[in-house]
């Protein structure tokens, strides 16, 4: 009968092997835990803003181009001269009326009734049919022009958070322009003041949205080009604000962030 003998391992060697094995096991566990920690940290940072409220005109939609084209076509359709001077007069009256609307002094209907009437009175354009505003709105609704890089930014942001449009524009016009822009598949919703009964910057406008979608103040931000409407609205609603200021204007409101290129949002909203 053959007897097989096992080699005798010195106790110190055995201890050494056990220590080496334990060391590598601990290193593997440590690497795993560190990877898990940093993955969770990045996820938490990325979730700081779960709700993004973003203005439409002159923030992502190129309203100036749309407006100029629509004015030119409508004035010419009525046989009226249209040039830079005419635009300047219209723009002055239009801006003043929209400001009064933001302040709650007039209704949106009054804007639409008065802006061309005031313009025509100053320019001495007489007997212009009352259908001018309606025809202008129809022209305006055809334009889905977007500002440079805005489309790509919205598409990317939609992967990170819920994106909503917040606008004071005319409901039928804004809905049509947003449809034509191709953005709707990337938006969770659109809130138009005309359909709500309150407008930016009024706190009630934001409280309506909050009730509808259930956002939390700490995880919500508003982005827009208007200090008086978007930024003041964010302040009134107690949410973070990002002023889009491509022309380096004077800042008269406290903002959480200020950007000059819409692509900067991708760095802020990681």
- 121 is annotated as an active-site residue: no
Token pair for residue 146?
A: 């977007």
Give the gyration radius of the chain's Cα atoms: 29
Check if the beta carbon of residue 26 is closer than 8 Å to that of residue 110: no
Residues 6+ apart with CB under 8 A from 189: 164, 165, 212, 213
Query: Do 225 and 55 meet the contact criterion of CB atoms below 8 Å apart?
Result: yes
Instruction: Pick left, alpha or beta for residue 204 (phi over 0 → left; psi -120 to 50 → alpha; otherwise beta).
Output: alpha
- Active-site hit among 55, 57, 230, 240: 55
Q: Please, which residues have CB within 8 angstroms of residue 51's CB and are 6 or more apart in sequence?
A: 161, 162, 164, 213, 215, 216, 219, 220, 221
Q: Which residues are catalytic?
A: 55
């Amino acid at each position: 009968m053959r007897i097989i003998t096992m080699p005798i391992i010195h106790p110190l060697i055995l201890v050494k092997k056990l220590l080496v094995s334990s060391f590598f096991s601990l290193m593997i566990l440590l690497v795993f835990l560190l990877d898990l920690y940093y993955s969770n940290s990045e996820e938490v940072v990325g979730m700081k803003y779960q709700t993004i409220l973003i203005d439409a005109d002159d923030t992502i939609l190129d309203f100036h181009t749309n407006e100029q084209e629509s004015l030119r076509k409508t004035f010419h359709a009525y046989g009226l001269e249209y040039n830079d001077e005419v635009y300047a007069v219209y723009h002055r009256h239009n801006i003043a009326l929209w400001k009064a609307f933001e302040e709650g002094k007039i209704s949106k209907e009054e804007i639409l009734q008065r802006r061309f009437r005031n313009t025509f009175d100053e320019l001495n354009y007489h007997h212009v049919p009352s259908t001018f505003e309606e025809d202008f709105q129809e022209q305006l609704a055809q334009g889905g022009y977007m500002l440079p890089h805005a489309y790509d930014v919205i598409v990317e942001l939609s992967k990170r958070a819920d994106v909503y449009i917040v606008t004071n524009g005319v409901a039928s016009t804004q809905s049509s322009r947003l449809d034509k822009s191709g953005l709707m598949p990337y938006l969770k919703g659109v809130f138009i003041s005309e359909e709500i009964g309150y407008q930016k910057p009024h706190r009630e406008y934001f409280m309506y949205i909050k009730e509808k979608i259930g956002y939390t103040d700490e995880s919500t931000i508003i982005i827009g080009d208007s200090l008086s409407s978007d930024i003041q609205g964010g302040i009134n609603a107690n949410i973070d604000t990002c002023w889009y200021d491509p022309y380096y204007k004077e800042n008269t409101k406290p903002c959480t962030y200020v950007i000059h290129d819409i692509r900067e949002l991708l760095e802020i909203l990681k």
